[in-house]
């Protein structure tokens, strides 16, 4: 049996390890704190339509492809883990609070129409009929029936269990360096493997035979809140997005409110200003949230890239080493697609949508960056 070592046990690394194990690889995942990086902090939106931005068509194409594989991925992980992953398909509303928001919604609706994305303009009255928790000042909304969500914490826990069920070994160590056929851990041990997958999120791992910028990721800080609604009347039934905030209801009354986007290096402090702004903006959308119990404020580091596209594919000049990182704002959405792409690169059957992986891999190719493309941020 061929051996693979995945460096980093976030949603991306664990989904990839699970895929490889399903394809018959003998897999180790190296991570001192698996599942506690950005994947633990995230909101869990699976939102290719709401995340569509002008100029980022390739990213939208990846997101839509990922949305196609999500239901099957959720079922496969749940079957191996013996527990569901918390996937739900209740759709997303993008709501306008004032005239400026309403103008921005018009632009968004035009982009959706141009790109053939599924969205529907709602009057304020129809929006409140669909989502009674919306505030009285709502100026209309866009309904995105194909944008779903997953409970990201349940997902990573289910992935750990599913990996264990497939014989994947979780090694609680940090990789000090990777290279062709070998991963060196910071405790002095080493793992020999034909395939090495670098899935260490916002953290760079030295690659023997490649420059510091071979995988030019940088940390993009995000602060997010969690509250608990005890009264069903204040509980939104859909993910509700404003233009600067989103509110995601989960079963059992938990509600996530996110998120800031900050260039602060590896800083993960929670600031009073961010908590204030997120609560204020969420409360303006859904006034009933004022009654919810405050549970948590937390910050995480998205793996950003120079062009906002992920970095998935062979690391140039380093045989047997594959990158699977740089998923920035969409790593939960893109985790199963990334796993399918790495599985195909490793010689497995293509399990993603469409005839083959080539077109999707082209937009994620690590070789697209010129030397020195990274910004040199180090932990
Ligand atoms: C506030 C916030 C909200 C977000 N909301 C969403 C959302 O709604 N939807 C969405 O799709 N995405 C969202 N994201 C983005 C998403 O969380 C990330 O893109 C995704 O989690 C990246 O997954 P990952 O596995 O690459 O990284 P991580 O989850 O960060 O995992 C990387 C792992 O690598 C390990 N590691 C690092 N260095 C080493 C090393 N040297 N050796 C071994 N292990 C190492 C770390 O311990 C960590 O466990 C959000 C992010 C944030 C911060």
Q: What are the residue ranges of CATH 3.30.9.10 in the chain? A: 92-145+218-304
**What pLDDT shows up at residue 355?**
84
What would the pLDDT profile of 86-136 be if each residue is shown by its tens digit?
Answer: 999 999 999 999 889 999 999 999 999 999 999 999 999 999 999 999 999
Q: Mutation test of ligand 1: which of 170, 331, 341 has the most ligand atoms closer than 8 Å to its C-beta?
A: 331
At the second CATH level, the architecture of 92-145+218-304 is: 2-Layer Sandwich (3.30)
Mean pLDDT, to the nearest integer, of 196-209? 97
What would the pLDDT profile of 265-279 be if each residue is shown by its tens digit?
Answer: 999 999 999 999 999
What would the pLDDT profile of 334-345 be if each residue is shown by its tens digit?
Answer: 999 999 999 999
What number of other Cβ atoms are within 10 A of residue 28's Cβ? Answer: 19
Distance 154 CA to ligand 1 centre (A): 15
**What pLDDT shows up at residue 370?**
76
Mean pLDDT, to the nearest integer, of 242-253? 91
Fold that domain 3-82+152-217+307-368 belongs to in CATH? FAD/NAD(P)-binding domain (3.50.50)
**Model-level pTM greater than 0.85?**
yes
Distance 9 CA to ligand 1 centre (A): 9
| Residues with a CB atom less than 6 Å from ligand 1 | 7-13, 30-34, 36-39, 41-45, 174-175, 199-203, 205, 222, 224, 258-259, 300, 302-303, 325, 327-333
């Amino acid at each position: 049996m061929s051996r693979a070592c995945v460096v980093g046990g976030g949603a991306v690394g664990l989904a990839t390890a699970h895929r490889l194990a399903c394809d018959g690889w003998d897999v180790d995942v190296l991570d001192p704190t698996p599942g506690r990086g950005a994947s633990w902090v995230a909101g869990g939106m699976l939102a290719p339509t709401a995340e569509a931005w002008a100029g980022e068509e390739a990213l939208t194409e990846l997101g839509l492809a990922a949305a196609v594989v999500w239901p099957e991925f959720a079922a496969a992980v749940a079957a191996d883990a013996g527990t569901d992953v918390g996937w739900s398909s209740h759709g997303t509303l993008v709501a306008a609070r004032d005239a400026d928001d309403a103008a921005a919604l018009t632009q968004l609706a035009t982009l959706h129409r141009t790109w053939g994305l599924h969205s529907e303009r709602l009057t304020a009255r129809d929006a409140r009929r669909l989502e009674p928790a919306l505030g009285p000042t709502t100026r209309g909304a866009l309904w995105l029936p194909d944008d779903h969500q997953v409970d990201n914490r349940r997902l990573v826990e289910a992935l750990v269990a599913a990996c264990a069920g497939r014989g994947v070994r979780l090694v609680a160590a940090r990789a000090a360096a990777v290279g062709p056929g070998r991963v060196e851990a910071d405790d002095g041990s080493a793992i020999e493997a034909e395939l090495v997958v670098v899935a260490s999120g916002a953290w760079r791992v030295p690659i023997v035979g490649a420059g510091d910028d071979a995988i030019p990721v940088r940390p993009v800080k995000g602060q997010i809140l969690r509250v608990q609604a005890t009264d069903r009347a204040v509980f939104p039934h859909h993910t509700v997005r404003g233009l600067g905030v989103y509110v995601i209801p989960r079963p059992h009354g938990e509600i996530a409110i996110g998120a800031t986007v900050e260039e602060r290096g590896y800083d993960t402090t929670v600031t009073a200003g961010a908590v204030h702004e997120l609560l204020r903006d969420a409360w303006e959308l859904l006034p009933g949230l004022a009654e919810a119990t405050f549970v948590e404020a937390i910050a995480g580091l998205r793996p950003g890239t120079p062009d906002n596209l992920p970095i998935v594919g062979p690391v140039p000049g380093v045989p047997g080493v594959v990158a699977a990182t740089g998923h920035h704002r969409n790593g939960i959405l893109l985790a199963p697609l990334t796993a399918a792409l790495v599985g195909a690169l490793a010689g497995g059957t293509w399990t993603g949508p469409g005839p083959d992986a080539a077109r999707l891999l082209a937009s994620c190719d690590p070789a697209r960056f010129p030397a020195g493309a990274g910004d040199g941020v180090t932990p």
